[in-house]
Amino acid sequence: MSPNHRSPLPVLVSVSLQLLLMLAVVVHYRLENRGFLHLLILVSLAFPVHALLPMSWRPGALLTLSLAALGIVLTPVPALLLFALGCGLIAICHLPLPWTARYGILLLAGLGLAWLRLGDTTPSFGLGPLGALWPILGSMFMFRLMVYLHDLRYGNLPSSKVWSLSYFFLLPNVCFPLFPVVDYKTLRKTYYNDDAANIYRRGSRWMVRGLWQLILYRLVYHHLALDPTEVDGGWRLMQYMLASFLLYLRVSGHFHLIIGMLLLFGCNLPETHHRYFLASSLSDFWRRINIYWKNFMAKVVFFPSHDRLRRFGPRWALALATAWVFFATWLLHAYQWFWITGSSLLTWSDVLFWLILGLLVVINVLWDSRPGRRRTAPRQGQPWAHRMRVLATFLLLTVLWSLWTTESLALWLHLWTTAPALAPCLLLLIVGLLLAAPWVARRGAPLGKRSLATQEEPPSHDVGLLLALGLLALLGRPQIQGMMAAQLPSRLAGQVATIGESLRSNELNRRDAAAQRQGYYEQLIAAPLDNPGLHALYARRPADWRRLDETAAWRPVDGLRRGELVPGSQIQFKQATLRINRWGMRDRDYPKERTPGTPRLAVLGSSHSMGSGVADDATFENLFEERWNKEHGRLESLNFAVAGHSAIEDMVLLDERVLDFRPDAILEVAHTHDVGKAVRFLAAALADAPNTDHRAPDHLATAHPALRAHLEAVGAAPGQARSVLEHRLRPRRWQILAAVYRHMVERCLEQGIAPHWMLLPLVGEDDNSDMDRLVDIAEEAGFKVHDLRHVYDGHRVDELRLAPWDDHPNALAHRLIAERLLEIWSLADARNRLPVFLNPRKLSRAQKQGGNLGGLDRSEGARENHANGTDDSNPSQ
């Protein structure tokens, strides 16, 4: 019986409603990017229209919709450029030439594009809008051209321009550079090969499954994933490894969404993943995870190579063909990496992961195909043996996955030193489970034969799906979460609120925000965010929204600072004018010599103090200076802050530059990211020391013996791997920061300079524990502390941040900081003839008297959580 292409009205209504609820979920949980939201709106509107069209119109409608999505997400001009390039590549496949000539021309075209892609990563070869399109162009053509050519040659498919174009410009591809390798022949053969109602229901179900997986991924990402530097023992190591594997949920979530969407337009494609966390062997895992990749490899690598290797005998052919598949997979993953990110991928972790996985699968395959063993279909028998195999496979994959996703092999090996007994225990457990499985199998009872009936999508599932989606959408609303939290005890309410916020957060978690380090898939998915052009198209972010060190206003320097502002430069930085004076400060021009009778303040810090993204006259430093001059008399405030600076760089800047300007006071501006940043900077400086030949280790040793003690205590030495150095130094991050602060205070007091320190919260930051500890350290070092953690109270995050994609403080936030600073120091000034904050003698005397300086109590905020007495809580240790 031929399938019914018409869908009953209730199914259309039900699936349309599900799509609307999915939209609500995507909005409430802020899933993916704005481009994806636009795509989902388009799909929701187009689905019922497409389903009601006559059958012969539908392929054309799908193509029109796919091209419309390109235009909407990428905007028309880049979309047309992409379409033209794509048509050129497809045309080469159809040239009336022998196949070898077509392969050759395509290879040349590919090399030409690769050359352009390489050029585009170099600013001087920038190609305008094309730069934004590389990940999408690569994603559409890098693998599908291989499949298309194969099927064109061997597939016996009738030629169709509509299907050729539809295949390459597949509807959701524009929002998902990491895309499953859809098979051309399968796409054509499965088009409405089942009842439309069944296909639509299945598509919707897979999309919902994809959304669930993305939400689960959020939980793992925010609550389970660890920075490797946080691994300090067996449990943490296991958590780290487990999370690195579970993060794959995002890929499978995306793939479910992608294929689900295509099912809504009649492409009855098979599922892309099948319960891969429950694989019972490595070859079973290979069959379950990314099924499209496995099929692609079987089609273009395994079967053809096995054919050529048959002369070596069946087992050799099998082993060699399987090994060849894994070699090709490694190579093609690097090839995919190149097209999407524009950089090369050759790391020992990557090589080892594919080598070990390939080797184990070859052994597994040879074991499965040993003489006398029958190839039977998977059955649900032997439950205990099966479960033990599943557990062993999961553990093994968790270890392997962590190897693959850890930044470097050296770091991964170093992590094991935090729990030396774990490696042999895990190995024994895995081997034990695998060996015990067959023994248990003899005692297990089969559960019964597997049903072969074609799985239909029962209409009753629609109601359940609608209810589940409705509930999910409701739970995503902050008001509902607030109501739920109100019913709970305060401790639980806080946890519910934190989880609710993290589920809605599409920001980087602490480890990535701090270091921007992720695994293979995480980085591929995040690649559009690193591509300014594509990010601009997805999020409507301006294409010139760059980091300071990517602009002409920054240059690298030798010594213990990464870089400095270029004197005399002027640029548009994050859409605001950034002028640098002749001394390399973001400030008006000042003579180096002091103006008699005019006190001088030097401000040090990073982007918040430099004023990233706000106008020259809108930084808090400038606003404060202007207001002070109007209300209290003359003051020179010199802004030495440089975006990206760590406290160590501030310390060096103070030694090398600031003291030459003979300030009366310094104001070191800090926020909680400074804690980890100092360690990361130190690790990078030591790791690069042999290459850059700068004075990092010597400088630290001579100028800062306290730092040398920490470096020696952890065995850190120049030239070691940065990630390993960072891991070793991280437990001492608070002491290192304390040593830096102590040095700054000592230098200031030696020169008769008043050392002030100010805590600025990050926009939206509400975790007080690190702020408390930071304040303690600054105070113990001898700084006069000004705690501005409540400066943004009463304002929403979106009122204070620069842009939805940039959390730096905006002009309003800078005004609030300036007003607060003015308020604090005006109060002190009212009681003294000279501005008290500029008078080191008074500061020193007041500190000796107990730290209270003319009304300048150090903390504006309550400090509920004092640091406890752990090893690194006391900076003097």
Partner 1 sequence: MGPIGQQIKAYILQEFLPDIDGDELLGDTPLVRSGLLDSLSILNLRAWLEETFDVGLAGHDLDFDAFGSLDEIAALVISKRSG
DSSP letter (8 states) at residue 606: S
Q: Which is nearer to partner 1, 189 or 795 (CB)?
A: 189
The token duo for 122 is 């170099």
Q: Which is nearer to partner 1, 193 or 495 (CB)?
A: 193
Pairing of strands 754-759, 665-670: parallel
What whole-number distance in Å separates Cα of residue 567 and Cα of residue 551?
Answer: 13
Smallest separation (angstroms) from partner 1 to the CB of 869: 57
Smallest separation (angstroms) from partner 1 to the CB of 298: 5
Q: Which is nearer to partner 1, 189 or 866 (CB)?
A: 189
Smallest separation (angstroms) from partner 1 to the CB of 383: 15
Q: Which is nearer to partner 1, 2 or 876 (CB)?
A: 2
Q: Which is nearer to partner 1, 319 or 729 (CB)?
A: 319
The token duo for 612 is 């990233």
Smallest separation (angstroms) from partner 1 to the CB of 772: 55
One DSSP character per residue, 477-537 reads: SHHHHHHHHHTS-HHHHHHHHHHHHHHH--S--HHHHHH----HHHHHHHHHHHSHHHHHH
Cβ neighbours of residue 349 closer than 8 Å, sequence gap 6 or more:
403, 404, 405, 406, 407, 408, 409, 412
Q: Which is nearer to partner 1, 298 or 475 (CB)?
A: 298
Residue 516 and residue 523 in contact, taking contact as beta carbons nearer than 8 Å: no
The token duo for 136 is 């999408």
Residue 191 and residue 268 in contact, taking contact as beta carbons nearer than 8 Å: yes
Smallest separation (angstroms) from partner 1 to the CB of 804: 42
Give which of 67, 272, 59, 56 is closest to 170, Cα–Cα.
67
Phi, psi of 55 (to 5 degrees): -55, -40
Smallest separation (angstroms) from partner 1 to the CB of 723: 38
What whole-number distance in Å separates Cα of residue 556 and Cα of residue 549?
Answer: 8
Smallest separation (angstroms) from partner 1 to the CB of 167: 15
Helix, strand, coil in percent for the chain, rounding step 5 = 65, 5, 30
Angle of helix 130-141 versus helix 58-74 axis, rounded to 10: 150
Q: Which is nearer to partner 1, 37 or 301 (CB)?
A: 301
Smallest separation (angstroms) from partner 1 to the CB of 455: 9
Smallest separation (angstroms) from partner 1 to the CB of 162: 20
Neighbours of 330 (CB within 10 A): 18
Residue 862 and residue 790 in contact, taking contact as beta carbons nearer than 8 Å: no
Cα-only R_g, the chain: 31
Residue carrying structure tokens 């730290």: 851
Q: Which is nearer to partner 1, 379 or 582 (CB)?
A: 379
What whole-number distance in Å separates Cα of residue 547 and Cα of residue 562?
Answer: 14
Smallest separation (angstroms) from partner 1 to the CB of 320: 13
Residue 783 and residue 741 in contact, taking contact as beta carbons nearer than 8 Å: yes
Smallest separation (angstroms) from partner 1 to the CB of 194: 10
Residue 754 and residue 665 in contact, taking contact as beta carbons nearer than 8 Å: yes
Q: Which is nearer to partner 1, 365 or 666 (CB)?
A: 365
Q: Please give the angle made by the CA atoms of 40, 43 and 46, to the nearest 5 degrees.
A: 150
The token duo for 302 is 């395994």
Neighbours of 802 (CB within 10 A): 20
Binding-site ranges for partner 1 (CB under 8 A): 150, 153-154, 183, 185-186, 189, 270, 274, 287, 295, 298-299, 302-308, 314, 318, 365, 368-369, 374-379, 446, 449-454
DSSP letter (8 states) at residue 806: E
Q: Which is nearer to partner 1, 153 or 795 (CB)?
A: 153
Distances (CA, A) of 130 to 127, 134, 135, 188, 547: 6, 7, 10, 31, 21
Smallest separation (angstroms) from partner 1 to the CB of 274: 7
DSSP letter (8 states) at residue 2: P
What whole-number distance in Å separates Cα of residue 653 and Cα of residue 70?
Answer: 49
Q: Which is nearer to partner 1, 272 or 622 (CB)?
A: 272
The token duo for 544 is 């010139």
Cβ neighbours of residue 779 closer than 8 Å, sequence gap 6 or more:
785, 851, 858
**β strands within 731-824, DSSP E:** 754-759, 784-787, 801-803, 806-809
Smallest separation (angstroms) from partner 1 to the CB of 182: 13
**Type of residue numbered 63:** L
Q: Which is nearer to partner 1, 49 or 157 (CB)?
A: 157
Smallest separation (angstroms) from partner 1 to the CB of 209: 17
Alpha carbons within 13 angstroms on the beta-carbon side of residue 355 total 7
Smallest separation (angstroms) from partner 1 to the CB of 332: 18
Q: Which is nearer to partner 1, 61 or 267 (CB)?
A: 267
CA distance from start to end of the chain = 81
- Chain centroid to Cα 538, Å, comes to 16
Smallest separation (angstroms) from partner 1 to the CB of 180: 14
Smallest separation (angstroms) from partner 1 to the CB of 446: 8
DSSP H or E segment with residue 173:
none
DSSP letter (8 states) at residue 343: S
Smallest separation (angstroms) from partner 1 to the CB of 166: 18
Phi, psi of 570 (to 5 degrees): -145, 125
Q: Please give the angle made by the CA atoms of 12, 17 and 23, to the nearest 5 degrees.
A: 130
